[in-house]
Amino acid sequence: MSINLVEKIDNFVKIRSVLVSVSDKSGLDGFIPKLLNINPDMKILSTGGTYGKIREILGVAANSCLMQVSDYTGQPETQGGLVKTLDFKIYLGLLTETYNDFHRSDLERTGAIPIDMVVVNLYPFKDTVARKGVTVEEARGNIDIGGPCMIRAAAKNFLRVASVVNPADYPMILSELKKNGGMTSLELRFNLAQKAFAHTAVYDNAISDYLSTQSLENVAGCYKN
């Protein structure tokens, strides 16, 4: 298998589209309106409770800029939110390389758009397993799949995409965007990618550590045979 070796990129990338799907919604009420103030034509894709929160924050302004991921992909969320963002159009939008003719052709063929920023944080697995009496099934249900996939895809493509995992970084990101005319710099995207991969590594380690403490009897006891 051959891989694409990128030789040309844009240092600065305009944020035209952002995907937001967060468990921790703190700071969104300031971050989202200010993002739109910097880039008024920006489009926002979102899911589930995050979509509802952003619609509440923006009010009628949401009608012109906010879309549910399910409407974008044409695939409704499965029951319980089991599958929301694991879709070809999403990952094409995240991994597309701007100067690749084949990628641009795929975007046109599928009606996908390049996604320039992902704002994602993960199900609170560590908080869940820290609760007294939590079952293996409750822990299993709080293993996030789509979130880490989006974070990793965006961070891999730091050449173009900003991967935002920590609400504490919102003010810094807004400051950089305002300074750079609504664009992210390669330096910012690379720094965010470093944080993103560290974030998913800690998350995966927490799951691994928890499962290593469980016996097969504990696991089997959660389910009827």
Place of tokens 């949401």: 62
Least confident range from 31-40, 46-55, 209-218: namely 209-218
Residue 225 falls inside a structural domain: no
Residue 156 falls inside a structural domain: yes
Q: How many domains does the chain have?
A: 1
Residue 186 falls inside a structural domain: yes
Q: Name the residue range of residue 66's domain.
A: 12-123+146-200
| Mean of pLDDT over the chain | 89
- For 172-192, write each residue's pLDDT tens digit: 999 999 999 999 999 999 999
Task: Return the CATH number at 36.
Answer: 3.40.50.1380
Residue 5 falls inside a structural domain: no
- For 126-177, write each residue's pLDDT tens digit: 888 888 888 888 889 888 888 999 999 999 999 999 999 999 999 999 999 9
Q: Specify the pLDDT at position 13.
A: 96
Residue 141 falls inside a structural domain: no
Residue 211 falls inside a structural domain: no
* DSSP-based three-state secondary structure for 74: coil
Q: What angle do CA 205, 163, 201 make, to 5 degrees?
A: 10
Residue 36 falls inside a structural domain: yes
**Which one has a higher pLDDT value, 97 or 160?**
160
